A = this chain, B = another copy of it.
Amino acid sequence: MARTHGSKAEITGPLIRDAARRLFARHGYAAVSMRQISAEVGLQVGALYAYTPDKQTLLADLLRGHMQDLLAEWPDDPGQPALARLDGFLRFHIATSLERPEAVFLAYMELRSLTPENRREIAALRRRYEDGLEAILTAGEAEGSMTVPDRRLTAMALIAMLTGVTNWYREGGRLDRDHVTAIYRDLVFGAVGA
């Protein structure tokens, strides 16, 4: 018989992660107390420790999950022309940055709040993401469809530029997502000499 309701743990766990993600992104990891997180979910603080062994693990799980999602969802196809792959990358990066702004912001800003061991792990995942873009730039230079002065620096620069959308984009503002994406496409394509 199919279950129609999950256990409380299946509901409460995600609620705790959602609250932690939102609060960490808004105020910073160090500024948020376990009591604030529990209050947001409607629990007493002790109950949180049935879901995470400690606050540090909660942060590391959020960042790991986000980076793994990014790597799993990125629809890159090395068989395509490099410009099409670059277009796919920037559409994907902007879409995730607008759909999950807190997770994107956290993954780029709270590496410093991780223990050295956790930081190494998450930084390696982020490095894979950066390497993916660098591979596209390498392919573009090989085909002659792009002119890239320095592939590593350019990859970092493009990611910084696109991720910056989380700093100013507001839902319902002057530009909708499609416009924003089209403008960033012009900027990115111009930067790589396409």
Q: With A156-B167, A157-B161, A163-B160 as given contacts, are A149 and B186 in contact (CB-CB < 8 Å)? A: yes
Interface string of A177-194 (1 = CB under 8 A from B): 001101110111011110
CA distance A174 to B149 in the complex (A): 14
Pairs A–B under 8 Å by Cβ, sample size 18 = A27-B113, A28-B30, A28-B31, A30-B30, A109-B109, A149-B182, A149-B186, A149-B187, A150-B183, A153-B180, A154-B187, A156-B168, A157-B161, A157-B164, A159-B164, A160-B160, A160-B163, A190-B192
Please determine whether A112 and B28 come into contact, CB atoms closer than 8 angstroms: yes
Interface string of A65-103 (1 = CB under 8 A from B): 000000000000000000000000000000000000000
Please determine whether A184 and B157 come into contact, CB atoms closer than 8 angstroms: yes
- 7 cross-chain pairs, A with B, having the tightest CB-CB distances, nearest first: A160-B164, A30-B31, A161-B161, A30-B30, A187-B191, A191-B191, A149-B183
